[in-house]
């Protein structure tokens, strides 16, 4: 056989080998991706997402896509929205608070005006009792709440006021097996003047209320901004925490290598406390493919 034929045979075999290698690499990549999904479904973190961050994505699309990569919950929904999620086999691990209005028509219960004002307590107690009933009918057990802004009130008085109002609600929550969860938010960047802006304040409120049906929502993004030391804080105070949120710092965007927190270590620390609840992605995607960003967040938080 001539040298030229040998060369042609070599090139032909090499091409076939390269093609086979490419197929094998593609298959390996797909299998690894499928393994990640399997890990997400069977991992030690229960995955949720806050719907408001994906406002442009139809609920149906979010349910279908999210369930495929291990999402188990879509949250911060009103009771009327929840059946659309449940029909996909998903849950709502944190239900929004009720729409409450004072006699003058002022909306209360949101971030700025809530439990730290005694004048709001009557309508808040009534609204939350109704919300508890709705949540029980849906088979759920966690409702968010807020402290309200300071507006010149000192933190000690605000804590006392929150405790007075929330203690009135605890018998109904305890009877129903529903947890009322106050979110820790930063007052430095996103929510100026918000009172429940440090973990220590929230923990003291939990102690003052003295019920297992009142806990904290530890938002990792917000608390990194306010106080840092995230893992040690979680380890110290995990018994007072019923829920977690994520977000990239700075910017509240994707939780990947573009920001300063290392979420796999944080998730590992959460798991090691014995936590069995949910971790919700609450970052605002910068990328055009929002679902891909969400899938990446779920994968990063799967430990």
Structure tokens at 259: 């920001």
| Residue range(s) defining the domain that contains residue 13 | 1-35
Query: Phi, psi (5° rounding) for residue 45?
Result: -110, 130
236 lies in the same domain as 250 = yes
Residues 13 and 50 in one domain: no
Rg (CA), the chain: 24
What is the per-residue pLDDT for 20? Answer: 47
CB contact at 8 A, 97 and 143: yes
* CB-CB contact of 92 with 85 (8 Å): yes
Together in a domain, 14 and 142: no
Are 23 and 40 found together in one domain? Answer: no
Does 130 lie in the same domain as 62? yes
pLDDT of the chain, 303 residues: tens digit per residue: 444 444 444 444 444 555 445 544 544 544 454 444 444 444 799 999 999 999 999 999 999 999 999 999 999 999 999 999 999 999 999 999 999 999 899 999 999 999 999 999 999 999 999 999 999 999 999 999 999 999 999 999 999 999 999 999 999 999 999 999 999 999 999 999 999 999 999 999 999 999 999 999 999 999 999 999 999 999 999 999 999 999 999 999 999 999 999 999 999 999 999 999 999 999 999 999 999 999 999 999 999
19 shares a domain with 160: no
Which pLDDT does position 17 carry in this prediction?
53
In the chain, the number of structural domains is: 2
Looking at the fold, whether 145 and 22 belong to one and the same domain comes out as no
Task: Rounding to the nearest 10 degrees, give the CA dihedral for residues 251, 254, 260, 266.
Answer: 120
| 12 and 118 housed in the same domain | no
pLDDT at 28: 54
pLDDT on residue 47: 98
- Which distant-in-sequence residues (6+ apart) come within 8 Å of 120 by Cβ? 100, 102, 108, 109, 113, 114, 148, 165
Same domain for 110 and 250?
A: yes
Count of Cβ atoms closer than 10 Å to residue 151 Cβ: 12
Please tell me the predicted confidence (pLDDT) of residue 169.
98
Clarify whether residues 155 and 21 are in a common domain.
no
Assess whether 63 and 208 both reside in one domain. Answer: yes
Residue 217 · residue 184 · CB < 8 Å: yes
Predicted structure pTM score = 0.86
Give the pLDDT confidence score for residue 43 in this predicted structure. 77
């Amino acid at each position: 056989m001539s040298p030229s034929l040998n060369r042609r045979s070599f090139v032909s075999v090499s091409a076939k080998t390269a093609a086979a290698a490419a197929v094998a690499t593609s298959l390996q990549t797909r299998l690894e991706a499928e393994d990640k999904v399997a890990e997400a479904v069977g991992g030690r973190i229960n995955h949720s997402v806050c719907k408001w961050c994906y406002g442009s994505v139809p609920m149906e699309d979010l349910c279908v896509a999210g369930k495929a990569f291990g999402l188990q919950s879509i949250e911060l929904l009103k009771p009327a929205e929840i059946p659309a999620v449940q029909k996909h086999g998903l849950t709502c691990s944190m239900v929004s608070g009720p729409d409450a209005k004072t006699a003058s028509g002022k909306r209360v219960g949101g971030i700025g005006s809530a439990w730290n004002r005694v004048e709001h307590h009557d309508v808040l107690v009534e609204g939350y009792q109704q919300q508890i009933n709705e949540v029980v009918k849906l088979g759920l057990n966690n409702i968010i709440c807020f402290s309200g802004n300071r507006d010149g009130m000192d933190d000690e008085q605000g804590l006392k006021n929150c405790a007075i109002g929330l203690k009135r609600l605890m018998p109904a929550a305890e009877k129903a097996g529903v947890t009322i969860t106050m979110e820790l938010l930063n007052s430095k960047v996103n929510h100026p003047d918000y009172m429940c802006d440090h973990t220590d304040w929230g923990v003291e409120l939990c102690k003052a209320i003295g019920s297992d049906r009142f806990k904290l929502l530890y938002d990792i993004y917000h608390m990194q901004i306010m106080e840092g030391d995230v893992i040690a804080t979680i380890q110290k105070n995990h018994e007072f925490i019923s829920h977690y949120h994520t977000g990239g710092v700075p910017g509240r965007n994707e939780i990947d290598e573009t920001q300063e927190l290392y979420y796999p270590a944080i998730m590992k620390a959460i798991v090691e406390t014995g936590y069995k609840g949910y971790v919700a992605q609450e970052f605002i995607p910068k990328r055009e493919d929002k679902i891909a960003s969400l899938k990446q967040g779920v994968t990063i938080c799967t430990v």
